Amino acid sequence: MTTSGPDRDTLRHAVALATRAPSVHNTQPWRWLVGESSVHLFADLDRRLPATDPDGRDLLLSCGAALHHLRIALATAGWGTVVHRLPNPADPTHLASVEMHPHEPTEQEITLARAIQRRQTDRRRFSSWPVPPQHLGTLAAEAARQGALAVAITDPTARFRVAGAIAQAAVVQEADPAYSVELAIWTGRGGAATDGVLAGSTPARRHGSATIPQRSFAHGTLGASPKRYDEQSALLMIATSSDDTLSRLRAGEATSTALLAATRLRLAACPLSQPLQISHTRRVLRDEILEGTAEPQLLLRLGWAATSAEPLPFSPRRNLDEVLGDLPA
């Protein structure tokens, strides 16, 4: 960087925090290249999951979440950002160019940055404590600031339809051998892994998980929360007015801020993408849950972790030098 921007160590730290963003099956499908006075986000298509994510929606959501993480990390280091999304029509993998300027971090930015290190995906049953409506309102307001909608799904009939869509999507995917191979490759990882879903992060199948169905992972070793109570989980739908590349990227940024805000509120959270990966069930969510007024991008399952729940292992991350480089001159 030039003297007008952050030094290399500051930038490396910010990108390291950006790579803590959630991604589909923890594939971490991004690359960062540093220019003279900017940093650039690229999609890593070698890490796309063609069977699980056939239209690349989850890849873009993942990259959008990383972009928002970067903005927060830079803000707390004293650098504001101007983001140019999809800056190069000739290169569809070039998702964002980020320019930096001196900035006084806000208290909200500081608290969100602190949440980056604490945020985890919790696939276990949540407790019997309901999520306060004002918390859902806070998350919706955060998502709106990133150019997306966050719609709380509270009606019992709507929740039943969502559960049905998830179950139907699971049937379709599990009948696809290519999907099963992808799932086996990217999940059930051991402690030495640098990507993928750890076996210790997914409940064993015999335990089940939650009242809202979730993707079934083989080889899970995570102990489940006790079933002596009825789970009280909330559902939040991240949606956009359109379904183009830019909309999906912005939905990822909204997902990031919603998850970090949830972490700040001590809520447990689990993104649910399965019903969005199948065209039919995605249409069900659009037409029956959103009444055709918006395009669904991702579901978030939210609740309070059981007080007896064991600490979750942190998902592994690739070495920073694998994802960070210099922009060619």
Six-digit token string for 250: 């912005």
Six-digit token string for 68: 């928002």
Name every residue whose Cβ is closer than 8 Å to that of residue 314 and which is 6 or more positions away in sequence: 120
* Claim to verify: residue 234 and residue 100 sit in the same structural domain: no
Is the predicted pLDDT of residue 22 greater than 60, yes or no?
yes
Is the predicted pLDDT of residue 203 greater than 90, yes or no?
no
156-174 helix and 177-186 helix, angle to the nearest 10 degrees: 100
Q: Name residue 33's beta-bridge partners.
A: 40, 325
* Claim to verify: residue 103 and residue 13 sit in the same structural domain: yes
Q: What is the CATH number of the domain that holds 201?
A: 3.40.109.10
* Claim to verify: residue 143 and residue 272 sit in the same structural domain: yes
pLDDT tens digits, one per residue of 155-194? 999 999 999 999 999 999 999 999 999 999 999 999 899 9
DSSP class of residue 61? H
Residue span of the structural domain in which 168 resides: 133-303
Phi, psi of 261 (to 5 degrees): -65, -40
pLDDT tens digits, one per residue of 45-82? 999 999 999 999 999 999 999 999 999 999 999 999 99
Round to whole Å and give the CA distance between 17 and 74. 9
* Claim to verify: residue 76 and residue 165 sit in the same structural domain: no
Instruction: Give the pLDDT confidence score for residue 207 in this predicted structure.
Output: 46
Round to whole Å and give the CA distance between 290 and 282. 11
Q: Is the pTM of this model over 0.75?
A: yes
Round to whole Å and give the CA distance between 221 and 313. 11
What is the domain count for the chain? 2
Q: Give domain status of residue 127, yes or no.
A: no
* Claim to verify: residue 178 and residue 262 sit in the same structural domain: yes
HSE of 59, CA atoms in CB hemisphere, 13 A: 24
Instruction: Give the pLDDT confidence score for residue 208 in this predicted structure.
Output: 47
Strands (E), 129-214: 149-152
* Claim to verify: residue 196 and residue 54 sit in the same structural domain: no
Considering only the C-alpha atoms of the chain, give the largest distance between any 2 of them, rounded to a whole number of Å. Answer: 61
Q: Lowest-pLDDT range, 120-134, 194-208, 256-270?
A: 194-208
